[in-house]
């Protein structure tokens, strides 16, 4: 069976456009409650967290009603980072965790993400079971068999302590001045607490959500405000999170952006010095070739997966590795949390800096990034990229010009109506020209 609603990261779209509607999410809560708690016995409990979008209130209520109708107890966490929900699902021994978020998208989008009882994202087979039940009539339990709801008042504090506990006992950020951009999103409360309680001097921006300003000119998708604040405040570094807190990018003291690939390399290079070592890293098709080569120089195996942190997690499980991620800032330290965690990732990078006695700029020097350009082409209609003759010709021509030290990658976005065109090579001028040529060809074929 082919999934209809679930994409690479749950169900996502524009609010008001089916299926991101109140009636659908109500039924989704019911269907998910029935499927995810089938084997839970008496402990039929699901956690719900959300980011700061104005539509989150509506979908929170819809999910709550659907779950309760299915006889499932609901713990309401309020605004909570996605990785916090993954952690708390395990900590509460819940049957599942649900996050209402569209991650780095604008406020007018929203979505629903699910975690199984073990804190990992759902298997394809489970998502198919939920979709199958969505085609059945919604059945409301009798009063004596309904679920109950409660609000968890100390959820933020629990997650803050979890993040701090991921560092060695006694580790301190005293002496560090850090600018923190929370993207007006789900980390606005937890993230400043973590860094301040660890002893850092923290300058916080993007921490005044109003329901509409999430990811708006801030956070990991808009790095300029953080770069400016780091320079103006003479900070040691800056940390940019996205709307739901599962991504992180950083800025060094010179105002230069340090992307996800560089952050992964910094953590890997540090762990390779420890007795436990770093036995491998999982990246994606988008991971920079420079990272792969730098890891090879350290003797660290590297494996590419399809784009999406769920595929990175699968590779980590398969290889019994603990470190992976994407250049967009999804950092996976699976020995600490079961999903991408922006705060945990930033802390691991800062630990590597502190214990080596280097700046963020110095820590990334072991890796030389290849010039890489990605262009997002909006698509009006679906197209088979591998079968279109004009697109295939443009890609082949580019690959011939790049030779063995470059790559071309075209893929459909799993979360937005976009085609992502990526070109990578040693010559930035050539990369720029080829990327725009291919994007122009693609644009002509999808409008």
Question: 190-244, pLDDT tens digit by residue?
Answer: 999 999 999 999 999 999 999 999 999 999 999 999 999 999 999 999 999 999 9
Q: Is 103 a residue of the active site?
A: yes
pTM score: 0.91
- Which CATH class, in words, describes the domain spanning 170-363? alpha beta
Per the CB < 8 A criterion, the answer to whether 446 and 379 are in contact is yes
Asked if the domains at 11-153 and 372-446 fall in one CATH topology, the answer is no
CA pair distance 318, 129, nearest whole angstrom: 24
Q: Which of 55, 95, 103, 334 is catalytic?
A: 103
Q: Could you check whether the bond before residue 94 is cis, i.e. omega within 30 degrees of 0? A: no
Tokens (6 digits) for 154: 């100390």
Q: What is the residue-averaged pLDDT of the chain?
A: 95
- Please give the order of strands across the beta sheet that includes 323-325: 302-305, 281-284, 323-325, 331-333
Confidence at 430, pLDDT banded by 50, 70, 90:
very high
* Domain spanning 372-446: CATH 3.30.310.50: yes
Summarised one tens digit per residue, pLDDT across range 166-189 is 999 999 999 999 999 999 999 999
Give the pLDDT mean for 429-436: 97
Confidence at 405, pLDDT banded by 50, 70, 90:
confident
Tokens (6 digits) for 57: 């209130």
**How large a percentage of the chain has pLDDT more than 90?**
91
Q: What is the pLDDT of residue 40?
A: 74
- Which CATH class, in words, describes the domain spanning 11-153? alpha beta
- The domain segmentation of the chain, as residue ranges, is 11-153, 170-363, 372-446
Give the pLDDT mean for 342-360: 98
Per the CB < 8 A criterion, the answer to whether 331 and 263 are in contact is yes
Q: Choose among 328, 247, 248, 320: nearest CA to 282.
A: 320
């Amino acid at each position: 069976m082919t999934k209809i609603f679930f994409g690479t990261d749950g169900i996502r779209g524009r609010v008001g456009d089916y299926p991101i509607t109140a009636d659908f999410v109500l039924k989704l809560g019911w269907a998910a409650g029935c499927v995810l708690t089938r084997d839970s016995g008496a402990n039929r409990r699901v956690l719900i967290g959300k980011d700061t979008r104005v539509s989150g209130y509506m979908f929170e209520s819809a999910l709550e009603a659907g779950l309760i109708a299915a006889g499932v107890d609901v713990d309401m966490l309020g605004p909570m980072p996605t990785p916090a929900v993954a952690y708390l699902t395990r900590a509460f021994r819940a049957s599942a965790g649900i996050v209402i978020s569209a991650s780095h998208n604008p406020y007018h989008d929203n979505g629903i993400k699910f975690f199984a009882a073990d804190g990992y994202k759902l298997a394809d087979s489970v998502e198919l079971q939920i979709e199958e039940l969505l085609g059945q009539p919604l059945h409301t339990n009798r009063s004596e068999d309904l679920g109950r709801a409660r609000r968890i008042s100390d959820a933020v504090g629990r997650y803050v302590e979890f993040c701090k506990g991921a560092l060695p006992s006694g580790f301190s950020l005293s002496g560090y001045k850090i600018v923190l951009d929370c993207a007006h999103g789900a980390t606005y409360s937890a993230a400043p607490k973590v860094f301040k309680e660890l002893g850092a001097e923290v300058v916080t921006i993007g921490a005044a959500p109003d329901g509409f300003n999430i990811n708006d000119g801030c956070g990991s998708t808009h790095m300029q405000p953080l770069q400016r604040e780091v320079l103006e405040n003479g900070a040691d570094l800056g940390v940019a999170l996205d709307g739901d807190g599962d991504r992180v990018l950083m800025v060094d003291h010179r105002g230069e952006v340090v992307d996800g690939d560089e952050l992964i390399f910094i953590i890997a290079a540090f762990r390779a010095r420890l007795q436990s070592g770093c036995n491998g890293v999982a990246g994606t098709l988008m991971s920079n070739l420079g990272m792969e080569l730098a890891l090879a120089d350290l003797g660290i195996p590297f494996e590419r997966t399809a784009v999406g942190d769920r595929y990175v997690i699968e590779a980590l499980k398969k290889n019994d590795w603990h470190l992976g991620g994407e250049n967009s800032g999804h950092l996976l330290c699976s020995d600490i949390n079961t999903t991408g965690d922006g705060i945990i990732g930033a802390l691991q990078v800062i630990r590597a800096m502190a214990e080596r006695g280097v700046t963020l700029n110095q820590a990334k020097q072991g890796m030389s990034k290849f010039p890489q350009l990605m262009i997002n082409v909006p698509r009006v209609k679906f197209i088979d990229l591998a079968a279109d003759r004009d697109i295939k010709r443009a890609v082949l021509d580019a690959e011939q010009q790049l030779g063995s030290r470059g790559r071309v990658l075209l893929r459909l976005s799993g979360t937005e109506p976009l085609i992502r065109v990526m070109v990578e090579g040693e010559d930035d001028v050539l990369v720029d020209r080829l990327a725009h040529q291919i994007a122009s060809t693609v644009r002509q074929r999808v409008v």
